Amino acid sequence: MTSATGMVPAIVSVLVLALLVGVIAVLRWRLALTSARSRPWPQPQRDTPRRQANPAFSYGLRGSSPGSLSLFGDNPLNNGVRVAQLTKEQRAEAFLQRILALTGARRANGAYVLNVGKVQFQLRDRFIRRLQNPDDPKSPYEETCFYLVHNGMPKVEEIATALLHLSNNPGLFDKWALQNGVAFKADGKVFDRCPLMGLR
């Protein structure tokens, strides 16, 4: 009885010690997590040329900087003051405006309207309607969804891509509508290395 009573403080001490070790472990884990979150992700060296076969070239993927964009005219300076860094969404919107001007498309009622001959296409986010006679509100129409096989680009760039496709090759609409999940290149040929093929 006496020895059992004597063991109680020892057991309590062990439990308190185990609790302290646990608390310290949790605190260290939280500290490490906070430190990892605050550390910037390593950025790919996009400005590093992949190869330099010819000095006339500079290869490699890199985002266009505002200074190099001709979207806003060839002058990167605005009265001697450098234009503020644009986000990719702002650049994408500027590019879309340029594609709208090139294709003669316009924005109306939340859609991008493109006339090719007598046919009118109305593009929304991943959705296209084709009207055979846009002047007649009761004119028959067809619809199809569309998506870019390489995911992740800004939505307005997807619209710009579809506008360029349709303005050059309006027959692509039929292919998109009839062959779900099959990717077509701008010339109308099937792109059979589509990374998303079979996933939708």
Partner 1 sequence: MKAKILTFSSQGDTTLIEYDPATADMDEVNRVIAEYEAKTGAQPFDIATGERIDKVTRAQNEVLMVHPIAGG
**Angle at CA 138, nearest 5°, toward 117 and 119?**
10
Where b means 16+ CB within 10 Å and e means fewer, 137-158 reads eeeeeeebebeeeeeeebebbb
Residue 4, amino acid: A
Distance of CA 84 to the CA centre of its chain: 22
Residues 174-193 that bind partner 1 (CB under 8 A): 175-187, 191, 193
Residues of span 107-166 touching partner 1 by CB under 8 A? 144-154, 157-158, 160-162, 164-165
By beta-carbon proximity to partner 1, the closer residue of 25 and 143 is 143
Shortest spacing between CB 24 and partner 1, in angstroms: 42
Q: Is 17 in the site for partner 1 (CB under 8 A)?
A: no
Among 54, 80, 110, 136, binds partner 1 (CB under 8 A): 54
Q: Does 98 bind partner 1 (CB under 8 A)?
A: yes
Could you tell me which residues come within 8 angstroms of residue 132 by beta carbon, excluding any fewer than 6 positions away? 118, 119, 139, 140, 141
Query: Does residue 52 belong to the site contacting partner 1 (CB under 8 A)?
Result: no
CB of 150 to partner 1, least distance (A): 5
Among 23, 30, 57, 75, binds partner 1 (CB under 8 A): 57
Question: With contact defined as beta carbons under 8 Å apart, do 145 and 173 qualify?
Answer: no
- Evaluate the CA torsion angle 176, 172, 89, 150 in order and state its sign: positive
Shortest distance, position 153 Cβ to partner 1, whole Å: 5
Toward partner 1, which CB reaches closer, 29 or 59? 59
Phi and psi torsions of 4, nearest 5°:
-65, -40
For partner 1, give the closer residue by CB, 22 or 104: 104
Question: Distance between CA atoms of 21 and 126, rounded to whole angstroms?
Answer: 55
Pairwise CA distance, residues 54 & 51, whole Å = 9
Nearer Cβ to partner 1 (13/52): 52
Whole-angstrom distance, CA of residue 112 vs CA of residue 123: 5
Name the residues that contact partner 1, by CB under 8 A: 53-54, 56-59, 61-64, 68-70, 74, 87-89, 91-92, 95, 98-99, 102-103, 144-154, 157-158, 160-162, 164-165, 167-169, 172, 175-187, 191, 193-194, 196-197, 200
